[in-house]
Amino acid sequence: MFSRAGRIISPYRLLLPLCFGVFIAADDMTVVVTLLPDMMADLRVGVSELDRASWSITGFLIGFTAAMPLMGRISDRTGYRLAFLAALGVFTLGSALVAMSPQIPGWLFGGPPEFNWLVGMRVFQAIGGGALIPISIAAVNELVDGRHRAIAYGLIGASAEAGGVFGPLWGGGITTWLSWEWAFWLNIPVTVVAALWIMRNPPGSRNRKVKVDIPAGIVFAAALALLTVGLVRIGEPDALMTISLAVTAALVVLLVVMNTRSADALFPRPLFHLVSFNFANITHFLVGAVLIVGMVTVPLMAATVFGKTPIEGGLQLLRMTIAIAAAAVIGGIITQRIGPRLPVLLGLVITSLGFLLMSGWAVDVAEPAITAHLLLTGLGLGLLVSPIAETALFRVGDGQRGAASALITVSRMVGMTAGLAAMTALGTVQFQQLVADVPAFSLDPVVQRQIIESAQNAAMDVFTRFYQYAAVLAALALVPAYLMTRRVRAVPTASEEEA
């Protein structure tokens, strides 16, 4: 029995430290969902300032995404192991700075705790965390043979989703027994373990001819940040929104020019000649926008509509995210055996159906409907992980896998960032419209109860609208998903690979 298990694990043994690092980074992306109420209280952010508080998540997504192209090229140049260690170092330092962020204003100029310092430190922490995913995806091609590659992608995807599963639960436990800062202090011994573990791996291929275009990376990060600022204002258009989106457009044009003229572009031009790679990025962008709807609204709905504790909210989200993690491996097995088309199309159909069922929820929704619908949605999302990665990297050359892995991951993260920004803006406006005629408070218990019920119904209406949007986006993704798989065959068998 144990020897059989060893044979199953053996092809993926060198991936384990990479999967562990991805798990840690993904955990810190979602842990703040349940830490946020305590953070807001400590840093003097009111309940009415949720749009401001959401920057603790949005800022992390920006930093997480902005680092990926640069670190992908660094990985191509230095080898995956050194790049992985550098990313871990940034993530570890960032974790300590987030934990210390309430004290930093006092140390520097004697000021009170300020939420903006926490957001800034979260962005720095995310730069290291975001780099771990594309580095790990790129490393698959060196550490695993072609026959096991699709499942390896699924394992990395499952590690990311498992981290997302664990994050809200970890945060809920921390806030129950310790202060929220400990969620970040405890990252330090864990990242030390990851660093020692990865040192047992080979260093990976190095290509000293690869140049890292830092100016282009800075322009990309600025464009991403300004795009997010503009999208956040989309519910209430103003001059800030217009300026942010206009400057974003200008920076994108500048980035294209820089990329065209660079001798060794941050985004290698041959990648964009691959039809499957381009459509994989479009598909992943839409999937990211769909995914963030579930990741944010499910625990938020549990807290606001159903009145559940942070741990209970995390457990509700767990039903979806654990299905994503399990289905990511299943999707890898299917992709390995028959190719990526069936699992990616089936996954999108199931995802759309799951969100459509969730859009029919009401305040009195109960089990087993909640669990069944969340599991179904998670199953669909998980099936997408491996076929998208396999398709995107199918014809990518050895010296460009880090950049390609970064770009395909960036597509999903930009989709998540854009989705979160639009959701924050539109959700706030829609909720205010729905409760515009509802009084804020009444001394009459009967009227007060009606006010609470009206607010709950309004919140549920906003959440279910987002589930409708997610269902539509998943259905739209069927088009690029079909086109991306037209020229991609199944993973080679053992005899084909030997030949």
Most confident range (mean pLDDT) of 204-218, 238-252, 388-402, 469-483 is 469-483
Classify residue 254: in a domain, yes or no.
no
Greater model confidence, 434 or 302: 302
Examine the pLDDT at 430 and tell me if it is beyond 70: no
Predicted confidence (pLDDT) at residue 56 exceeds the cutoff of 80: no
Domain assignment of residue 230, yes or no: no
Mean pLDDT is lowest, of 3-12, 292-301, 334-343, for 3-12
Residues in contact with 308: Cβ distance below 8 Å, sequence separation at least 6, in sequence order? 302, 316
- Residue 436 belongs to some domain of the structure: yes
**472 inside domain:** yes
Question: Given this model, what pLDDT does residue 216 score?
Answer: 85
- Say whether pLDDT at 350 is over 60: yes
Per-residue model confidence (pLDDT) at position 429: 53
Q: Which structure tokens are listed for 142?
A: 């060196």
- Prior bond to 113 cis, omega within 30? no
Domain membership of residue 73 as a residue range: 12-213+262-486
In a domain, 35, yes or no: yes
d(CA 356, CA 348): 12
Q: What is the pTM of this model?
A: 0.74
Most confident of 28-42, 67-81, 272-286, 306-320: 272-286
- pLDDT at position 49 is 55
Q: What CATH number is associated with residue 448?
A: 1.20.1250.20
More confident residue, 117 or 495: 117
CA-closest candidate to residue 80, choices 143, 151, 9, 26: 143
**pLDDT tens for residues 128-173?**
887 888 888 778 877 876 677 777 877 887 788 788 777 877 887 8
Q: For residue 494, is it within any domain? A: no
Structural domains counted in the chain:
1
CA-based nearest residue to 221, from 195, 194, 254: 254
Provide, rounded to the nearest whole percent, the portion of the chain with pLDDT above 90: 16
Reported as a single tens digit per residue, the pLDDT across 304-335 is 777 776 667 767 777 888 888 888 888 888 88
What's the pLDDT tens digit per position in 477-489?
Answer: 999 999 988 866 5
pLDDT above 70 covers a percentage of the chain that reads 80
Label residue 89 by pLDDT band (50, 70, 90): very high
Residue 162 lies in a domain: yes
Least confident of 35-49, 178-192, 300-314: 35-49
Q: Is residue 401 part of a domain?
A: yes
